[in-house]
């Protein structure tokens, strides 16, 4: 039965449900309570036609229970997985997620930040490419994959450890002539450490390696040209390739197939990311897999932390090697 005239209040809902006011507040704020209490409150709210006025509450409490995620796009599977994990993690904490897409354009990224700051969100998680991004100190900000300063917490995979892992795995699998292929943004970021880790492990093992490092705008053609140059009588000068992304590994595997080089018999390939076909089916290649769920959870935990005086500068989360098709094990 809907009451007419005056709008029902939280107190009315508590009375109707026969629970304490605090319980009603918890339910409406997404804080876990017993299933039975939750149902009682929801039934009472429905019966009374009670509508939480988030905006009025936001003005009163200065909390919006809304956080924003800034990403370049949702086309790249790593970004879309991350969007899903951040959204689900925030929802479990009673938070809604605003999604803002920047197309990796520095100006658009700055506009995204300003836009969500204006919207008085309780925090921002950003995966951006603008090295000069201006962030307001009044809104908690957590960066993913890009380190700004000690004052801005950054969450990333253990990219350095992943690069080491790739080199060691290729050596362990019998490779003797290693190659590192890299393509990506010009802007320095945590992902660059994949190559650093690979180099460190090669040095430590006393193994030399060759490398070709390109920028996104160079495209994939130079990799094919490089492979052709190093092909002698159907045999490649290298027998182990570490690619800085699964997408690059996928392209390199296709190029080698075109050149008649067998993978993994003649050349073994390890990628980085752990991308699955259709988001949930088979991997594209043997890979260093990123812990996307853990990255999301850690970023949200830091974002919503009440005491903001002793936040970490950089948290690197453990990656894992997964064998699938492009290596011998």
CA distances from 242 to 128, 182, 188 (A): 25, 9, 20
- Determine which residue in the list 33, 52, 224, 304 makes contact with a copy of itself, applying CB under 8 A: 52
7-16: long-range contacts at Cβ-Cβ below 8 A with a sequence spacing of 24 or more? 7/50, 7/51, 8/48, 8/49, 8/50, 9/50, 10/50, 12/48, 12/50, 13/41, 13/44, 13/45, 13/48, 13/50, 14/41, 14/44, 16/44, 16/47, 16/48
Residue 275 or residue 315: which is nearer to a copy of itself going by CB?
A: 275
Least distance in Å: CB of 280 to a copy of itself? 6
* Of 154-162, 165-173, 270-278, 314-322: span binding a copy of itself (CB under 8 A): 270-278
Query: Does 166 contact a copy of itself by CB under 8 A?
Result: no
Strands 231-232 and 235-236: antiparallel
Least distance in Å: CB of 115 to a copy of itself? 7
Phi, psi at 106, each rounded to 5°: -55, -45
By rule CB under 8 A, what string of x and - marks binding of each residue 188-227 to a copy of itself?
A: ----------------------------------------
Query: Does 117 contact a copy of itself by CB under 8 A?
Result: yes
- Determine which residue in the list 48, 101, 133, 288 makes contact with a copy of itself, applying CB under 8 A: 101
Print burial letters for 185-199: b (CB count within 10 Å at least 16), e (below 16).
eeeebbbbbbbebbb
Query: Does 168 contact a copy of itself by CB under 8 A?
Result: no
Query: What does the binding site for a copy of itself look like in residue numbers (CB under 8 A)?
Result: 28, 51-56, 58-59, 64, 66, 73-77, 80-81, 83-84, 87-88, 91, 96-101, 115-120, 246-247, 250-251, 275, 277-281, 284
């Amino acid at each position: 039965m809907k009451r007419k005239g005056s709008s029902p209040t939280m107190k009315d809902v508590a009375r109707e449900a026969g629970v304490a006011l605090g319980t009603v507040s918890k339910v409406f704020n997404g804080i876990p309570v017993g299933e039975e209490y939750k149902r009682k409150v929801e039934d009472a709210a429905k019966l009374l036609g009670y509508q939480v006025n988030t905006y009025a509450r936001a003005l009163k409490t200065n909390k919006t229970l809304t956080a924003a995620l800034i990403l370049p796009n949702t086309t790249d599977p790593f970004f879309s997985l991350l969007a899903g994990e951040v959204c689900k993690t925030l929802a479990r904490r009673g938070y809604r997620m605003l999604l803002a897409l920047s197309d990796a354009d520095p100006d658009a990224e700055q506009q995204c930040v300003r836009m969500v700051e204006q919207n008085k969100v309780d925090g921002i998680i950003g995966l951006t490419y603008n090295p000069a991004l201006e962030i307001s100190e009044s809104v908690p900000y957590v960066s993913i994959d890009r380190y700004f300063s000690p004052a801005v917490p950054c969450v990333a995979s253990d990219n350095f450890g992943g690069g080491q892992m790739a080199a060691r795995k290729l050596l362990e699998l019998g490779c003797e002539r290693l190659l590192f292929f890299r393509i990506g943004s010009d802007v320095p970021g945590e992902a660059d450490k994949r190559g650093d880790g690979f180099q460190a492990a090669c040095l430590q093992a006393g193994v030399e390696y060759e490398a070709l490092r390109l920028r996104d705008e160079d495209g994939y053609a130079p990799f094919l040209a490089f492979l052709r140059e190093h092909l002698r009588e159907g045999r490649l000068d290298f027998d182990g390739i570490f690619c800085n992304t699964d997408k690059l590994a996928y392209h390199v595997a296709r190029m080698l197939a075109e050149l008649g080089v067998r993978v993994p018999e003649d050349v073994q390939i390890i990628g980085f990311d752990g991308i699955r076909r259709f988001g949930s089916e088979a991997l594209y290649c043997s890979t260093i897999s990123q812990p996307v769920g853990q990255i999301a959870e850690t970023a949200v935990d830091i974002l919503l932390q009440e005491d903001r005086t002793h936040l970490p500068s950089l948290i690197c989360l453990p990656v894992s090697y997964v064998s699938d098709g492009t290596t011998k094990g």
